[in-house]
Amino acid sequence: MNKQLIIQKLNENPFKPLVDIVYEILLNEIINFNFLPETKIVETKIALSLGVSRTPVREAINLLEKEGFVQKLNGKCNIVAPFDANDYFDLNNFRFVLEPLAAGYAAMRITDEELNQLYKLTVKIESAYQSGEFKEFSKAENDFHEYIILCSKNKYLIEAYENIHPKMKRYRVYITADSSLYDFLGQEHHFIYNSIKLKNKEVAEAALKRHISLLTTKSENEMYIYNNKIIQKKLEVMNQLTQK
């Protein structure tokens, strides 16, 4: 983390607010475990490293706090929020049951109008990943998966999803915010859309199982080998955290 990062991001988009740039840099440090869970975040040190004033750093930290990535300790200093790796795997194992089931129901119950809306959300995800804007693809990811749940028209699945949604939004970022995966993830959602478009319950369920398994398991499928190498590095760190 250094001044060059600020210069690079300003060259990419000269109109981007400085607070957004600092926010993305800090988020990247957190989700890559360069800032370890429960370690102190020092405004002055970060500002000095990035060559900016403390104001955008403070505002960026406040944004991260609202999203659950940072916590205030005793109402004073800021720390990286604790990361419960066991909880991460438990949640994704639950998703492995919940979301494929919802996709199967959606495939059977989705209307043509809803299918058209799902396609728009699919295109939006691809566009968001191409833009590289974290806030855009984070929202697009959430909107896409939530819409599939809603299209299941199963009130119990919808209720279960609502219960885990706040925490899932945070955990999902640890994988999806890796820029090396943007192209892959953009295309992956087209695969899910096409599986639901077939209106075949088993096909839709299999597509979501394949998608979510990337967040929890090691796949030997050649199509996933490169992307799994990136994901597995994150999972190895998470596994180490479960043993602390």
Per-residue pLDDT, 235: 64
Confidence bin at 57 (pLDDT 50/70/90): very high
Residue 114's pLDDT band (cuts 50, 70, 90): very high
Q: What is the mean pLDDT of residues 21-50?
A: 90
What is the average per-residue pLDDT within 62-90?
Answer: 87
Pairs from 58-67 (Cβ < 8 Å, separation ≥ 24): 59/19, 59/22, 59/23, 60/19, 60/20, 60/22, 60/23, 60/26, 61/26, 63/19, 63/23, 64/23, 64/26, 64/27, 64/30, 67/169, 67/170
**How far apart are alpha carbons 69 and 66 in whole angstroms?**
8
User: H-type helices in the chain, by residue range?
Assistant: 3-12, 18-31, 43-50, 54-66, 85-109, 112-131, 134-151, 155-176, 182-197, 201-213, 225-242
Range of lowest pLDDT (29-43, 81-95, 108-122, 208-222) = 208-222
Model confidence at 229: pLDDT above 60 = no
| Average of per-residue pLDDT values in the chain | 86
Is the pLDDT assigned to residue 227 strictly greater than 50? no
Predicted confidence at residue 104, as pLDDT, reads: 97
Question: Is 160:98 a contact under the CB 8 Å cutoff?
Answer: yes
**What's the burial of 211, exposed, middle or buried (CB within 10 Å: 0-12/13-18/19+)?**
buried
CA 98, chain centre distance (Å): 18
Domains of the chain from N-terminus onward: 3-80 (1.10.10.10), 85-242 (1.20.120.530)
pTM tops 0.85: no
d(CA 215, CA 181): 12
Question: What does the pLDDT look like over 173-201, one tens digit per residue?
Answer: 877 777 777 888 888 899 999 999 999 99
Least confidently predicted of 39-53, 62-76, 143-157: 62-76
